[in-house]
Amino acid sequence: MGVGIQVENLNAWYGSTHTLHDINLHIPANHATALIGPSGCGKSTFVRCLNRMHETNPIARATGVIKMGDLDIYKDASPVEIRRRVGMVFQRPNPFPTMSIYDNVASGLKLNGFRNRRILDETVERSLKQAALWEEVKDDLKKKSGASLSGGQQQRMCIARALAVDPEVLLMDEPASALDPVSTSKIEDLIFQLKSQYTIVIVTHNMQQAARVAENTGFFLNGKMVEFDSTHKIFTNPSDKRTEDYITGRFG
């Protein structure tokens, strides 16, 4: 089951560049939350703070409190534990090129030392079914490299890979921006189905996409969160002039 995320006074830096300013926000459990805003506004940095990927860059740092349920992710756990509970799908499909489809999906478990064949088999099948890829790949699971799939299939495989470690939260950083319209709509359908079981945070450039998949939407601008509200309100009656300017296409 998903878990809610409470963000308090989050600030983030890359070197001396202050990229996130005092972000406060509650992301509700088992809903999809979209983050929109122009390039470089800090939405990617924000989601990378949620699974502590931000700190893999040696010059990056962050302050503030992020709570998943009762767990303070910067105080109570190691980054490795947090990343097992908070899955991430990246902008471009990033399969492990030397691994088969099966090994790609099982990698989160296998690389953490999990060896039980029967459970691995079950997990791979379940995750691929959840990612709506099972029917397309079930005959080539161990024969084909993950990199041999099409871009859209690769991205769904990456979603299956993230789901296989059974996370509570799924972060998606522009998961469809490198894909064609058909693949994009498959990914959106997926988000729609997955959000009953996971808390989903999706960064997107595509405002229609935010409107289609998310209950709540946050608008980021220049490292600040300008507005956070129900998606319906953001797109029909935003409270902030800057949000309105952005969604009506006056900038960005």
Partner 1 sequence: MDFHSKSMRLNTLRRSVMNHLITALSILATLLVIAPLVAILVYLIYKGASSLNLAFFTHIPAPVGEPGGGMANSIVGSGIVLGLSSLMGVPIGIAAGVYLAEFGRGTLLANAVRFTADVLNGVPSIVMGIAIYSLVVMQQKHFSALAGGIALAIMMVPTITRTTEEMLATVPHAIREAALGLGVPKWRTAISVSLRTASPGIITGCMLAFARVAGETAPLLFTAFGNQFWSFKLNEPIAALPLQIFVYAISPYDEWHRLAWAGALVLIVLIMVSVTLVRIVANRGVLKGAS
Residues that bind partner 1 (CB under 8 A): 51, 53, 56, 58, 80-85, 87-88, 90, 92, 94-100, 107-108, 111-112, 143-145, 147-149, 158, 161-162, 165
Least distance to partner 1, CB of residue 125, Å: 18
Least distance to partner 1, CB of residue 78, Å: 9
SS3 239: coil
Buried b (16+ CB within 10 A) or exposed e, 64-89: bebbbeebebbeebeeeebbbbbbbb
The residue (of 96 and 224) whose beta carbon lies closer to partner 1 is 96
Least distance to partner 1, CB of residue 202, Å: 15
* Contact yes or no for 212/180 (Cβ under 8 A): no
The residue (of 7 and 88) whose beta carbon lies closer to partner 1 is 88
The residue (of 174 and 227) whose beta carbon lies closer to partner 1 is 174
Least distance to partner 1, CB of residue 131, Å: 15
Least distance to partner 1, CB of residue 251, Å: 30
Q: Which residues contact 51 (CB under 8 A, 6 or more apart)?
A: 82, 83, 86, 87, 88, 169, 171
The residue (of 100 and 199) whose beta carbon lies closer to partner 1 is 100
Residue where the block lists tokens 């790949």 = 137
Spatial distance between the Cα atoms of 181 and 152, rounded to a whole number of angstroms: 10
The residue (of 15 and 222) whose beta carbon lies closer to partner 1 is 15
Spatial distance between the Cα atoms of 170 and 181, rounded to a whole number of angstroms: 22
